[in-house]
Chains A and B, each alone.
Chain A
Amino acid sequence: MKLSALQQSYLNRRSNSFRGSLPLDSSAACCIVSVVIGFRFSRLVFLFLFSAASLGGEISALLVVHSALATASPIAKSVSAACPPANRTAAGSRVVVGRHGIRVRPWPHPNPEEVMRAHRIIERIQREQRMLFGVKKPKMVIAVTPTQVRTFQKLHLSSVMHSLMLVPYDVVWIVVEAGRVTNETASIIAKSGLRTIHVGFNHRMTISWSDRHKLEAMMRLHALRIVRKERLDGIVIFADDSNMHRCSFCWNSCSFRKLEWAGFVLNSKLLWKDLDDKPEWIKDLEVFDGVDDIESPLYLLGDTSVVEPLGSCGRQVLLWWLRVEARTDSKFPAQ
């Protein structure tokens, strides 16, 4: 909640001062003072006015302000009435000099329709900014997410889903489910509105952490085989359902010293079988058939020197790991 404007004005010292003493011309004293102070004032103020000549300008001004705050009497009305009406700046001008009412509309709350129009304007402006200054021909984002039904699945999967929904590029979401395709998982990802490929992986999720890591790696490889089979053209990212992503992750990707799958990005064409100019440093996926011990995405490469950081590597945190899980025998409350 913001401070009131008056409180903030007192804190702000830029303009809270007179610009020096004003000449106290007796014939125009009431107009001058009413202009400066803007108060209807009482008999007491007159005493300060006539003694102001012996005091410094700012001191007398402060005295006047305080006394005016303290007292107000019916005499003030007749005194202020004696001042001439507000002046116009010139003949024919519509602008009036002097005091104006502060216009406040009866119901100041924002109109929801106007708020939505404002957000559409902002979205349109940002689209123009991306067109002008962003990536000229953005590639499709191919997001790979291994998952399984569990107490906290909805929490994590919804989080990564919302991140993907905010990506302003085409997104294909490959969801690989341990065991088999379930209605629980399908009902979550159906709300994304994204193009999804939801497949099962015929191994049930295990309990031990190290076995889980191995199984997840195999599930990711399974997704890569789908990329190859469907000849999807884009940038592959591994969006684990327990990761938190900044939107800019899809623009920038850094390599880490110990490379987690989620920090690794590659062009999907490297996975295609019959690519003409396929580089030699990428291994064919068939090499991994039957292998169950892939610890890192670097295993995909025959030569790790081709890995390079993207963007301003190390300056921004683009991704967090939020590996929070419930006990295996727990259940999420019924909805």
Chain B
Amino acid sequence: MDFWKVGLLSLLCAASAFAIGAVELGRHQPTERISGSAGDVLEDDPVGRLKVFVYELPSKYNKKILQKDPRCLNHMFAAEIFMHRFLLSSPVRTLNPEEADWFYTPVYTTCDLTPNGLPLPFKSPRMMRSAIQLISSNWPYWNRTEGADHFFVTPHDFGACFHYQEEKAIERGILPLLQRATLVQTFGQRNHVCLKEGSITIPPYAPPQKMHTHLIPEKTPRSIFVYFRGLFYDVGNDPEGGYYARGARAAVWENFKDNPLFDISTEHPTTYYEDMQRAVFCLCPLGWAPWSPRLVEAVVFGCIPVIIADDIVLPFADAIPWEEIGVFVDEKDVPQLDTILTSIPPEVILRKQRLLANPSMKQAMLFPQPAQPGDAFHQVLNGLARKLPHDRSVFLKPGEKALNWTAGPVGDLKPW
């Protein structure tokens, strides 16, 4: 009697183990090692190199918001939720804040959605400010560094500027209370007020399970030269064009809509993922913000990303040599896209494909449930670990103040 129960339990455990293994995206193809400016670090193991303390906040900052609108689990900003869940069960978590290297505040700032499922950013600064006030009142660790050993996940369009329109985001700037903290964000553009030095740029969330179910055999010939599905004009927000994507997407359409080498359209087919696996180049132009999940999809499906976003800072840029993997095209050069892509020597293209085929490369783009070695969660931890030990300037002297708690727009100072 009990013997059979034990047997059944073992069988279930074995099945579970197989299920986990099935999510692996590594496939059998010759690849090259990936080395970025930080070295060959994609497969580093952060366990033992850092300890993270997770603040426990009232559920109105995280869980309760998600209960109200579970769509936040599926959209491209979902990394803020999954990072929280990952840290709660990660071996790098410590329950003793005295031994922590980093402090994490679980606040979901992109989970206030419109009926269409787009995040409303207008109250996000107040929400974040309220969370910081809470941790600085209830724990001593914020005040001793004023946030310099804290990290926040701010995956919105322009990160901690908390707006989807660039001019408004620039006018607002990064929330002043976060000026000493490390920001983990999808937005990355050099010399931009919304990207602070020392930030960790992450991929947007793209659902790993869903992508895995659309894999096709690797021998399927790549017969599409250039592939893109998405908007060219944002008629609702920019009827005349020129603001959306800084005009780059409209330029793609106007120059190449009748070019047989370009498979481009706004119609998303059911075979979108399959088609990416039959394409050589996938266009990754900026939208309202420079980044999009399209980059993740291109990497996972081995389609060489063509980055059209001036001065973009791509995910984990110190671990991944994006110049060797993708093709960077200036926004002003969009009209010459066909000349640029056809003039790349085939051997260079094949090398980019070999780098893309590296399983570590694909793994680093994903936030799988449960977490796996080398995934985006671990890349964030590796990035935080590379910042250790903290500089002496992190810890303030007694009486020293660096933050101005009343800085920023007046509207942001209202209670949340």
Interface set of A (CB-CB < 8 Å, partner B): 2, 5-6, 8-20, 23, 35-39, 65, 68-69, 87, 89-105, 108-111, 114-115, 117-118, 120-122, 124-126, 128-130, 132-134
Contacts and interface: CB of A to CB of B under 8 A. Distances in A.
Contacts of A132: 29-30, 218-219
B225 A12 contact: no
Contacts of A109: 258
Contact of A5 (B222, B247, B253): B253
A120 B30 CA distance: 22
B357 to A, nearest CB: 9
B338 interface: yes
Contact of A133 (B217, B240, B256, B260): B217
B243 A15 contact: no
Q: Is the interface of A mostly helix, strand, loop or mixed?
A: loop
13 contacts: A5-B257, A9-B235, A16-B236, A17-B236, A89-B192, A93-B192, A95-B310, A97-B170, A101-B242, A102-B250, A104-B335, A120-B346, A124-B350
Contacts of A111: 338-339
Given A99-B243, A111-B339, A114-B342, 9 more contacts: A5-B250, A9-B231, A36-B165, A38-B243, A104-B335, A108-B256, A111-B338, A121-B349, A125-B222
Interface in B300-317: 310-311
Contact of A15 (B217, B236, B335, B411): B236
A110 B242 contact: no
Contacts of A12: 231, 266-268
The 9 closest A-B pairs by CB, nearest first: A16-B236, A133-B219, A93-B191, A100-B247, A8-B266, A105-B335, A124-B346, A99-B242, A117-B342
A94 B339 CA distance: 24
B270 interface: no
B416 interface: no
Nearest to A100: B247
B120 interface: yes
A17 B236 CA distance: 5
Contact of B247 (A10, A101, A122): A101
Interface residues of B, number: 78
Nearest to B166: A97
Contacts of B243: 35, 38, 98-100
Q: Is the interface of B mostly helix, strand, loop or mixed?
A: loop
A125 B349 contact: yes
A8 B253 CA distance: 12
A59 to B, nearest CB: 14
A293 B88 CA distance: 79
B339 A102 contact: no
Nearest to B257: A2
B242 A102 contact: yes
Contact of A38 (B222, B240, B310): B240
B116 to A, nearest CB: 5
Contact of B341 (A10, A118, A130): A118
A17 B114 contact: yes
Contacts of B121: 19
A89 B170 contact: yes
A103 B310 CA distance: 15
Contacts of B251: 102-104
A89 B192 CA distance: 5
B185 to A, nearest CB: 15
B234 A9 contact: yes
A18 B237 contact: yes
Contacts of B236: 15-18
Contacts of B165: 35-36
Contacts of B222: 122, 125-126, 129
A221 B173 CA distance: 83
Interface in B331-356: 331-332, 334-336, 338-339, 341-344, 346, 349-350, 353
Contacts of B240: 38-39
A92 B166 CA distance: 17
Interface in B108-126: 114, 116, 118-122
A111 B340 CA distance: 12
Contact of B235 (A6, A89, A117): A6
A126 to B, nearest CB: 5
B140 to A, nearest CB: 35
Given A8-B266, A9-B266, A129 B219 contact: yes
The CB with the most chain A CB atoms within 10 A, among B165, B235, B254, B411, is that of B235
A99 B166 CA distance: 11
Contacts of A115: 260-261, 342
B232 A125 contact: no
The CB with the most chain B CB atoms within 10 A, among A13, A15, A23, A117, is that of A15
B223 interface: yes
B10 interface: no
B255 A104 contact: yes
B186 interface: no
A102 B241 contact: yes
Given A122-B225, A129-B218, A133-B219, A37 B280 contact: no
Contact of B310 (A35, A94, A114, A118): A94
A121 B346 contact: yes
B259 interface: yes
Contacts of B336: 105
B7 interface: no
B212 interface: no
A133 B218 contact: yes
Given A38-B243, A133-B218, A92 B191 contact: yes
B310 A125 contact: no
Given A17-B116, A93-B311, A102-B254, A37 B239 contact: yes
A120 B237 CA distance: 41
Nearest to B340: A114
Contacts of A35: 165, 167-168, 243
B82 interface: no
B310 A126 contact: no
A183 B121 CA distance: 78
B221 interface: yes
A88 to B, nearest CB: 9
Contacts of A101: 242, 247
A20 B255 contact: no
B235 A10 contact: yes
A5 B331 CA distance: 19
Contact of B239 (A8, A19, A38, A105): A38
Nearest to A39: B240
Given A5-B266, A38-B241, A95 B118 contact: no
B246 interface: yes
Given A19-B114, A118-B341, A110 B261 contact: yes
